[in-house]
Amino acid sequence: MGAPVRLVAGLGNPGPEYVATRHNVGFRILDHLAIHEGLLFRSARNLDGYGGPRAFSWARLFSPEALLLKPETFMNRSGTVVAPVARHVLGDPPDPARLLVVYDDLDLAPSGLRIRPHGGAGGHNGMRSIIQCLDTDRFPRLRVGIGRPGTDAARHVLAPFSEAEEEDIAISVAEASEAILFWLQTGDIERCMTRFHSRWNRDS
């Protein structure tokens, strides 16, 4: 019997005006991973067969078996897609250890990366929505630093990276994609943390 299917949800906002923004780094990482693995995202206008009514984009990875998911409900309603898809793909109730959420973090320096096996929302509205809709915070997550500005945080997350930041973010996107693949292959978030945190801390 093969390894159980896993679900990776990258968070962001839909629409071309948000593509290059800091808040969409979760989408960007999944896009990078899909290109690396030769996958194409498909759009679903509803969740027919996935237990709910909201739109999303998805790509299927077969080795290891996983579903890559980009909710298209805007950040604050991410849970209305992630939760029903998780119940369909991972079982009802879903096994939270088989879900990985990838998202931006104001509390990490730009291009910083952190993996955690579980935890709270940390002020992130997309994560808050997922935790509320799943009724648990016991799922792994990968956070990508976008830095905390001295100005309004809402404007900061919806702004693009600077030219200087873009060089570091491109490296972080590739590193995050590699970490996701390692987790998908091993299913071991602790090993993933050990392997990649040591590298990221050494290079920082």
The boundaries of the domain holding residue 147 are 6-203
DSSP H helical ranges for the chain: 25-36, 79-90, 125-134, 153-157, 163-186, 189-203
Residue 43, in any domain of the structure: yes
Q: pLDDT tens across 157-173, in order?
A: 999 988 888 988 999 99
Does 170 map to a domain?
yes
pLDDT at 110: 80
Indicate the angle between helix axes 25-36 and 163-186, nearest 10 degrees. Answer: 60
How many domains are contained in the chain? 1
Assign residue 30 the CATH number of its domain: 3.40.50.1470
Report pTM: 0.92
Question: Residue 1: inside a domain, yes or no?
Answer: no
The contacts of residue 56 (CB under 8 Å, 6+ apart) are: 43, 44, 47, 69, 70, 71, 72, 73, 81, 85
Respond yes or no: is residue 23 known to be catalytic: yes
* Domain presence at residue 136: yes
Question: Cis ω on the peptide bond leading into residue 149 (within 30° of 0)?
Answer: no
Domain membership of residue 175 (yes or no) is yes
Q: Which residues of 37-65 are buried (b: 16+ CB within 10 A; e: fewer)?
A: eebebeebeebeebebebbbbbbebeebe
In a domain, 190, yes or no: yes
**Per-residue pLDDT tens over the stretch 87-115:** 989 999 999 999 999 999 998 888 789 99
Whether residue 26 is contained in a domain is answered as yes
Question: What phi and psi values does residue 89 have, to the nearest 5 degrees?
Answer: -85, -40
- What single DSSP character describes residue 52? B
Catalytic residue among 23, 36, 118, 197: 23
